[in-house]
Amino acid sequence: MAETITLKANTRTTVRRGVGALRRAGLVPGIVYGRRIDPVCIQVDAKDLLAVLRTAGRNRLITLNVDGVDKMVLARELQRDPIRGTIKHVDFYQVSLTDKINADVLIEPTGESADMKSGLGVLLQEMNAVAIRCLPTDLIERITVDVSNLKVDESIHVRDLPIPAGIEVMDDPDAVVIRLTRFVEEKVEEVAAEAGEVEVIEKGKKEEEESEA
C-alpha cells in the first residue's frame, strides 16, 4: 500500500485583495470542492504544498487536514505566477472512497526492440495518456508499456494496455497508443547534388556560348 500523503490547511476568510498579503506571508489560497459538498476556502503553507504535489502528482490521494478534520482529496487545478513560477492558487477535489471518479493516466513506454536498436524503426507515441474510471483507492500514477518486442509496422492499441483490475478504460479500445514505423532517410543530400549539377551544366553552356561568340 502506498504511503499516506498528508497536508495541513486552515479555513480561509481572506478573499480578493487580501490574498496578496497571504502570499507574501508564504501561504497559498485554495479551495476544496466536490460532489454533494459545499466548497471550502482554505490556505496552506507554500513549501508544504510544493513538497506534497511533487510526491502526489494528480492521481495520488492526499489526506488534507483542514482545522483538524481529514478530507480525502486529489490535487486538481494549479494557478502559477507566469514570471516566478510560484503557485498562486490550488484546487482540491474531495472524493468519496465509495464513488468512482474519472481521471487521466500517463502512458510510459519502456524497453527497446531489436528494430529500434538497429535504426530500422522509429517509435511513435500517438497517445500520451488514457482516460480511466475507478474508485479513488484504485487510482494509478502511470501505465508502463513494454515495447521491447515491437517490430516495424506493429502497433500497441488501447486494448493491449496492462490495466489493473478495478479500472475501466474510457477510450476507444482500437485506438493506437504506440507504433513502430520504418525509418526513412530524407533525400536532402541527393536533392542538393542535383541542384548543383544543374548549376554547373548551365554555367558550362554559358561559357561555351561566350567562347563561340
* Domain residue limits, the chain: 5-94, 101-182
- Fold classification of 5-94 is Ribosomal Protein L25; Chain P (2.40.240)
Q: Do 76 and 55 form a contact (C-beta atoms < 8 A)?
A: no
Q: What angle do CA 169, 170, 175 make, to 5 degrees?
A: 90
Strands 69-80, 155-157: pairing is: unpaired
Number of helical (H) and strand (E) elements in the chain, helices listed first: 4, 13
Q: Do 107 and 82 form a contact (C-beta atoms < 8 A)?
A: no
Question: Domain 101-182's class?
Answer: mainly beta
Would you write out the chain's pLDDT as a tens digit for each of its 213 residues?
457 899 999 999 888 778 889 999 999 999 999 998 999 999 999 999 999 999 998 899 999 999 999 999 999 999 999 999 899 999 999 999 999 999 999 999 999 999 999 999 999 999 999 999 999 999 999 999 999 999 999 999 999 999 999 999 999 999 999 999 998 876 555 555 454 544 443 444 444 445 444
Rg of the chain taking only CA atoms, in angstroms: 28
Neighbours of 200 (CB within 10 A): 9
Determine whether 209 is exposed, middle or buried from the number of CB atoms within 10 Å of its CB (0-12, 13-18, 19+): exposed
Q: What are φ and ψ of residue 146, in 5° steps?
A: -80, 120
Q: How far is CA 51 from CA 7, 44, 91, 136, in A?
A: 10, 12, 16, 21
